Amino acid sequence: MNDFHSKLAEYIKSKELKNANDLIMREIGKCLVRSKGEFVDLLNYSGINASSAMTDGQLIALYIDNIDGNEKLLIGTAYLVNKSNQVLSFDGEDEISDTGVKRTIQILYNYFDDTPEFAESDPNEDFYATSEDFSNGAGVVGAIAGAVGAGATLGTKIAEGRQKKKYGALDIAQKKMDAKQALVQSVIQQKQAQTELKKKETEESTKKLKVWGMVIGGIVIVGILAFVIYKKNKATQPA
């Protein structure tokens, strides 16, 4: 079990809803930095106009503004986060965790309480039927249906043993603010990590160039000395 799934299971067990949601926001922040195109595709697929020309701040604002009331965005987030945290299957191949997607949806649904109720029969029936291609040539229909499990009644499972709480506008605003903070911090950390990596790569490249410069310089010096000695010896030899 990788770090994301381990922590998510831990937070669910200890009923730490905010920490679980922050974890998901940090992961979607990583997705934004590592694959901005997929993040933009997620927004567009969810009916939110976005483009790669937008700044990270603009994309984050669009995401946070809509995450509490957009079912496609919620499910797409769960898919994208788990796509970035695949697990090993029994045959040794990487795959998207069915349990991970369900847990992620459950956390997002419970945290952003204004999210619309899912249908009782199959909450994703229309979603599967109307989905368009998401990215990498793979349709969301197949990708998410396969990850979540075709026909899974998520709405029923999420609602089991739980009464929907009603939060006021201020509570939702605070939840969004906290989620945004976790997402923004993740983006900043990822960009810092990328900067450090590039710096390290540049330093390593510079070191290699210096070494090669010294080697080549040494070869040139040896060649010159050999030539001088040769000429000197030739000049001292009797005709």
| 216 pLDDT higher than 60 | yes
Residue 14's domain spans which residues?
3-192
Q: Is the pLDDT of residue 154 over 50?
A: no
Q: Is the pLDDT of residue 30 over 80?
A: yes
* 62 assigned to some structural domain: yes
Residue 227 lies inside a defined structural domain of this protein: no
Q: How far apart are CA 38 and CA 54, in angstroms?
A: 13
Q: What percent of the chain has pLDDT over 90?
A: 43
Question: From residue 135, how far is each of 23, 53, 104 by CA, in Å?
Answer: 24, 18, 20
120 inside domain: yes
Q: Which residue has the higher pLDDT, 163 or 186?
A: 186
Compute the average pLDDT of residues 37-48. 94
Run of H or E including 135: strand 133-135
What's the number of domains the chain is made of? 1
Tell whether 224 is covered by a domain.
no
Question: pLDDT at position 239, please?
Answer: 55
Q: Please report the pLDDT score of residue 145 as a whole number.
A: 45
What lies within 8 Å, CB to CB, of 30 at 6+ separation is 84, 186, 190
pTM assigned to the model: 0.65
**Residue 134 is assigned to a structural domain of this protein:** yes
Mean pLDDT of 77-98: 88
Would 197 be classed as within a structural domain?
A: no
Give the integer Cα–Cα distance in Å for 119 and 136.
Answer: 29
Q: Which residues pair with 86 in a beta bridge?
A: none
Is residue 220 in a domain? no
pLDDT score for 1: 59
Average pLDDT of the residues of the chain: 76
Mean pLDDT for the stretch of residues 155-183: 66
**pLDDT bracket for residue 129 (50, 70, 90):** very low
pLDDT score of 183: 96
Report whether 88 contacts 120 (CB < 8 A): no
CB atoms within 10 A of CB 228: 10
Which alpha helices (H) appear in the chain, and where do they start and end?
3-13, 17-34, 36-45, 56-66, 71-83, 98-111, 125-130, 140-148, 154-159, 169-236
Distance CA(7)–CA(3), nearest Å, equals 6
Is the per-residue pLDDT at 138 higher than 50? no
Residue 221: inside a domain, yes or no? no
Is the pLDDT higher at 18 or at 168?
18
Please say whether the beta carbons of 111 and 175 come within 8 A. yes
Please give the residue that has the higher pLDDT: either 110 or 213. 110
Phi then psi dihedrals of residue 231, to 5 deg:
-65, -40
Cβ atoms 10, 105 nearer than 8 A? no
In this structure, of 84-93, 154-163, 169-178, the range with the lowest mean pLDDT score is 154-163
